[in-house]
Amino acid sequence: DGGITQSPKYLFRKEGQNVTLSCEQNLNHDAMYWYRQDPGQGLRLIYYSQIVNDFQKGDIAEGYSVSREKKESFPLTVTSAQKNPTAFYLCASGSGPNTGELFFGEGSRLTVL
């Protein structure tokens, strides 16, 4: 079945540690996105990539980094520079660069202890 797989689903991190969230899709989509969701808030865009080897900052990129070495994969690293990293992280993909019809993974819930 086609879809997006995020891992891990739950992650605990000590302050000062970097963590990497995995996102893999087999939908053959060019565009991939990382969003962050905090309680009672909408989704905020962290990074997006419209094509392999290219990615752009979203609205809240500070303290995060990404790579897009393969079409299927778009991992997100939450660095120690991110001041408030506890959140629900969502990876999504879309068939085109300007589509609003996105498919989401199941999400990764990060808690900083």
Partner 1 sequence: QKEVEQNSGPLSVPEGAIASLNCTYSDRGSQSFFWYRQYSGKSPELIMSIYSNGDKEDGRFTAQLNKASQYVSLLIRDSQPSDSATYLCAVISSGGYNKLIFGAGTRLAVHP
Give the residues lining the site for partner 1 (CB under 8 A): 35, 40-45, 56, 58, 90, 97-98, 100-107
Euclidean distance between CA atoms 73 and 50, whole angstroms = 12
Lookup result for tokens 């994969």 = 73
Q: Per the structure block, which two tokens stand in for 35?
A: 């969003």
**Nearer to partner 1 by C-beta: 79 or 104?**
104
**Nearer to partner 1 by C-beta: 16 or 100?**
100
Task: Give the nearest distance from C-beta 65 to partner 1 in angstroms.
Answer: 19
Q: Per the structure block, which two tokens stand in for 17?
A: 């540690």
Task: Give the nearest distance from C-beta 88 to partner 1 in angstroms.
Answer: 8
Assess contact for 9 and 91: CB atoms under 8 A.
no
**Nearer to partner 1 by C-beta: 27 or 104?**
104
Task: Give the nearest distance from C-beta 14 to partner 1 in angstroms.
Answer: 24
Assess contact for 42 and 101: CB atoms under 8 A.
no
Other CB atoms within 10 Å distance of the CB of residue 28:
10
Task: Give the nearest distance from C-beta 16 to partner 1 in angstroms.
Answer: 28
